[in-house]
Each structure stands twice: as structure tokens, then as C-alpha cells.
Amino acid sequence: MSNEAGDGIRWHIGDGRSVQVWDDKWITRPTTFQPITPKNGLCPGLRVADLIDEATRSWKTEHIDNLFWHDDAAVIKAIPIGCFSSLDTQVWHYNKNGSFNVKYAYHIACRLPSLRNNQVLGHSSEKKMNWNAIWKARVPNKIKVFLWRVCKEAIPTTSNLIRRTCDVKPVCTMCGAPYEDSKHALLKCFFARQAWALADLPWAIISQWRDGMEDWIDHVRKGLERDEFNFFAVLCWMLWQNRNKRVMENKHSSPMEVVASARSFLQYFQNCIV
């Protein structure tokens, strides 16, 4: 029964000083109780205390959103923090009072295989993106890969670069906003919004934000006709290329020029593959 007891032990967060973010069990999600976000060398030695604002005794939500995948961030921000700082303690997750109970442990031992399977399946099926539809889009492969990277929050926005400990300013180079993530770069930036307004695509669909980039792109894909989605994909890529040109060369095209370039690019590509 000792294995079942060990499987259920995690940290109950007090001040967070004793708990390592990447190595300890502290997230209130069975059965691993650890982040599913790849560590990738990000912030080694980070403690849970670094995620807590001591002045307000609340989570640093923006920092958490920048550092973790959405699934992790949502669970972390739901962990209650007391009004007063206290020591971190180890508890047994499957009992409300935190103490190990033989009777509960027996039931958990019977359920652990299905709990583990559900956890694996949950993380693989939670995102219901139809990748086949993306791969079948009539756009260049590099744009399909770009969309995949956007969905995985893997394009080098300033927020992602800061997560990777790069010394960059967090501002958007296109509009001067104090923060740039994928959502901002492709949708919320004033420049991007001007481009979408000129794109002759249903703004009511594109502007409907979903829970993360993958959900947003899948929502747009479902709401647009196939030809419209092809253009949407190319325009996203063009917006990103234009942003990079501004960062690297301090030059950029106007929203109208970006939209026109996207149309010409898509038409040329599709004429070539007919």
C-alpha cells in the first residue's frame, strides 16, 4: 500500500518557498501532480514562491500565463492561496484532510490505472483540432507548419522570448503595446486589426477569441469556407513576416499592402499547383 500512498502525496502550497516548480509534486491534478508544460531549460530552480505576489497574496497570473501551457496555467491559478503566508506542507491528495487513509488508498489503488489512462487521453484529446483539415489546406507547407507553431505557442513573440530568458523588451514593435503574445501579434494588434478589416473575411468569426491559439484557429477553420480559410492562413503568415521585417530591418508594409500581398501570394501558389 506504500506505493499508493506515495502516488497521492503532493505539496499543499503555503508560501511556496519549499516547492520547486518543475521537479516537485504540487499541482492539484492527479496523477503526476506536476506541470505538463515542457521545462526546456526555462527558469531552472524556479520556486512556486516566484509565482506568488506576496503583497496581495495572489497568483502572478500574467507571469503564469506566459510561462505555462494553458492547461497548467488554469489549474495553477485555481489553487487557493491563504491570506497569510504559511509553510508548505505535504498532504495526501485523496483525502480532504490531507492524511493518508488505508480505506481510501485501497479504492485509489483500484482506480489508479484508469486515472492514469484518463490523464493521458485527456491531454491528447482535450484539444480537438482537426489537423488533417489543416494539412489539406491549399497553402504552402511552410504556412501549415507556421499554423502548427502558432497553435503550440512556438513562434518567437516577445513574451515567448522572455520565457526563454532572452533579453528583449516585451513591447509590440508594430503598435507599441506593452505586451506581445501570439494572440496580440495576429489578432489584437492595431496593425493586425486594420489588416483583418481590409481582408473581406467575416470579422464576427475571426474576432471571436477562444481559449488559446489552437482553439481560436480551429474555431476560425470551422466558421470559414475552405477558400476563406486558405486566405486566413496566408494572411496570418504575412502578418508575422511583416512583423519580423519591422523587428529585423525597421521596415514594414502597410495593412493594405500586406492584404494585397497575401492575395497575390495565394493566387500564385494555387495557380502553380493546378
**Residue located via cell numbers 495593412:** 255
**What is the share, in percent, of the chain residues with pLDDT greater than 90?**
47
Q: Report the pLDDT value the prediction gives residue 94, as an integer from 0 to 100.
A: 65
CA distance 102 to 1: 8
Greater pLDDT, 267 or 42: 267
Q: What is the mean pLDDT of residues 139-147?
A: 92
CA distance 14 to 17: 8
Average pLDDT over all residues of the chain: 83
Q: What is the mean pLDDT of residues 122-142?
A: 74
Is 50 exceeded by the pLDDT of residue 87? yes
217-266 tens-digit pLDDT: 999 999 999 999 999 999 999 999 999 999 999 999 999 999 999 999 99
200-211 tens-digit pLDDT: 999 889 998 877
* 3-state DSSP assignment of residue 13: coil
Alpha-carbon Rg for the chain in angstroms: 23
Q: What is the mean pLDDT of residues 2-7?
A: 48
Domain ranges of the chain: 2-125, 131-273
Is 90 exceeded by the pLDDT of residue 99? no
Instruction: Find the range with the poorest average confidence among 1-5, 57-61, 78-82, 230-234.
Output: 1-5
Q: Phi then psi for 132, rounded to 5 degrees?
A: -60, -40
116-126 tens-digit pLDDT: 444 444 444 44
Is 80 exceeded by the pLDDT of residue 164? no
52-75 tens-digit pLDDT: 998 898 999 888 887 887 778 888
Task: Point out which residues pair with 90 in neighbouring strands.
Answer: 11
CA dihedral 166, 167, 173, 178 (to 10 degrees): 100
Q: Report the pLDDT value the prediction gives residue 120, as an integer from 0 to 100.
A: 42
CA distance 48 to 189: 32
Tell me how far the alpha carbon of residue 268 is from its chain's centroid. Answer: 33
- Of these ranges, 104-108, 127-131, 187-191, the one predicted with the greatest mean pLDDT is 187-191
Greater pLDDT, 104 or 193: 193
Greater pLDDT, 119 or 130: 130
Greater pLDDT, 116 or 146: 146
Question: Given phi > 0 = left and psi -120 to 50 = alpha, else beta, which region is 57?
Answer: left
